[in-house]
Structure 1
């Protein structure tokens, strides 16, 4: 991107869309309020440690109240359906049961259409995850999903027993150095250690229930006269749901952003401060990786007639070409992206601190050496375990899926 480092001309040619809706506007306003103030706190207060404060306890109480409403609908619906005598009471009970079903706590499942790696299939990868987890003060995962080209990584839970799942997008993984990959895993596993309430069973499901309520009570656009009446009747409960969602956001958003800083500390502890900063820099240029993969896909699918539909040569070299492309990005582009992030602030993602602030926080503290390392033999073994996933995702990228 052509730009001027002296006057910031063209530093941010693509402005993000402004948030719409009361809830999104509130989230971005809260994120801006926390902003640099939170950065100053986490930089000067010494080592970050997970913990619960008054806001987290209030969020827990509010979440339990939300689940209490679901329980009342369930019990009330059963009583009305079973004990109701004629009239519309059984119908009302069935309606309450239906709403309670929609609002029930959900437990995520493993992807059914995509394979995942288990410990027996990738012992070296799981050993690395276990070592990094021990460094962050938590335990490892039960399954690893590495079957997407996403420029992202995440952790989650699945099933009633809340088993742990680590998801790694190969678009990001293959763009990082070995040390940066360790820092990435340290960051993601650090989320298990810091006790983020928004990811928890109670608060997380309460947020999901409130969003379901918003959907069920959303006004009908271009309503008929009858629908206009229902829109009016829904106004009060819809406002109450929106207010509860805003309150829960207000109580948890600051802790969520603080948790990102804490996860960055774990990233630096596991892979070194230098690797953690480098990993954050790679996140700044995610759009370039996405564009590179799209070019690879378009090039493959627009070959001349008669060429093989799925070239092993082009597929096998995809990730190496992506890594070479990311390594070719000049330092000036990273600087432009940092300035762009400073201009946009929290306007892109209200749940994460801006990347330039996370980077500044790591550089403002004492540099940490890597607590977890990998020798050549371990890297080779890890690469072999991921070969099947790399080939599968490369084939999907080349075929535009």
Structure 2
């Protein structure tokens, strides 16, 4: 999974399923918002989730029973069409089988070569009560996130060097504190059970979902130079696939609805835990910076077109003046009116801001100063990656202008 990209505009071209998924997320975010505003992290404790666990276990049990039935059918005597059916079944199993997630297009930070960076992450992980990530990667994206990699779902932190470069030291601590806050409870058997179930249901829905209406077919031989209308055949095919995929889509939506409250609480709780190590004002500034990523991306793209160093431009953004109270209020209104959020899995930014501001936190000044020193040391190490990542970063920026 790539690091998430900030969403700065309300999408109006979403599919039916994407609209329902967003509606489920928004409803869960609103339901949990008042509770978090009133009680803070004490409201983030796990509630009764037996039904969700039973649902996940049931889905995996049905999948395991289907594979066992297919294996039994494989060894039975059968004719030609029986073998065709068995072969098709094993192709389906191969398509739906879990696959280890790998992080690609990134640079892994060796602890021996980046000791300050790993020391910073260990300090912040201990402060938020989470285990440090098993691996740390840096890429050329405006994003950050924790990815469960490999068969054992090892937590891997991915940080975009462009995003890191344009943040202040306080915002960097807040960013890492938020991502590390997500690692609390991620190493449990229940978390692995839910993760594998969601992956299975998502692959099943993806396998059966029809292509977009304007998808181009490779079945027609365009070399003949004959223009044919495939609108009717495409429409019939979409209708058949839509009916066949509906049960899988509904099952995925039911599962995501069941897990929505828990996922939204985790986002709010990660913000509050980040505030404990960086301060509420730092997390607020981080969210406000994320709202303006589109503009920052434009500045970096303009620098790339002028053949300037885009990282140098981002470093100048880091030194910008802080927003006033009026500008913060205006940003909150904009987030509410335009539905701004980091990505589709997060609550709206205005809801996150109100939860943070309802529970202002100021970390111990001595501890914060020690973290600032670690951040500066980590930044010195990461700055050495800029020559390596400048070209792919510039290429990505120029492609977005074409």
TM-score (norm. length: structure 1): 0.81
- Between the aligned partners of 1:244 and 1:137, the Cα distance in structure 2 is 34
Distance 1:334 1:299, change over 3 A: farther
The alpha carbon displacement at 1:398 in A equals 3.2
Contact preservation (8 Å) 1:116, 1:145: yes
Query: Is 1:182 aligned to residue 173 of structure 2?
Result: yes
Q: What are the equivalent positions in structure 2 for 1:317-396 lying under 5 Å apart?
A: 318-325=310-317, 327-328=319-320, 331=324, 334-345=328-339, 349-370=343-364, 371-374=367-370, 378-396=374-392
Cα distance in 1 between the residues matched to 2:381 and 2:387: 11
More RCO (CA 8 Å, sep 6+): 2
**Distance change (3 Å), C-alpha of 1:196 and 1:380:** closer
Verify the 8 A CA contact 2:128 2:181 in the aligned structure 1: yes
For 1:230 and 1:335, how far apart are their aligned partners in 2?
A: 46
Q: Distance in 1 between matches of 2:373 and 2:354?
A: 34
Q: Cα–Cα, structure 1 residues 157 and 32, in superposed 2: closer, same or farther, change >3 Å?
A: closer
Greater shift in the superposed pair: 221-230 or 120-129:
221-230
Partner of residue 78, structure 2: 85
Deviations 1:215-247 (A, max 9, x none): 322347658779948954x56652221221111
The alignment partner of 1:129 has SS state of helix
Cα pair distance change 1:32/1:155, threshold 3 Å: closer
- Gaps (5+ residues) in structure 2? 1-7, 214-229
**Aligned-CA RMSD value:** 3.1
Find the aligned partners of 1:18 and 1:356 in 2 and give their Cα distance. 20
Moved more, 77-86 or 94-103: 77-86
Q: Distance in 2 between matches of 1:45 and 1:378?
A: 32
Question: Normalized against structure 2, the TM-score is what?
Answer: 0.81
Name the SS of the counterpart of 1:88 in structure 2: helix
Alignment size in residue pairs: 368
Written as runs of structure 1 = structure 2, the 5 A alignment for 1:119-268 is: 119-148=111-140, 150-195=141-186, 200-219=191-210, 228=236, 232=240, 237-268=244-275
Q: List per-residue Cα deviations over 1:328-353 (Å, max 9, x = no partner).
A: 47656655432211113378844211
Separation of aligned partners in 2, 1:139 and 1:347: 27
What is the rounded CA distance, in whole Å, between the counterparts of 2:352 and 2:372 in structure 1? 31
CA contact (8 A) 1:51 1:194 kept: no
Distance in 2, Cα, partners of 1:203 & 1:238: 22
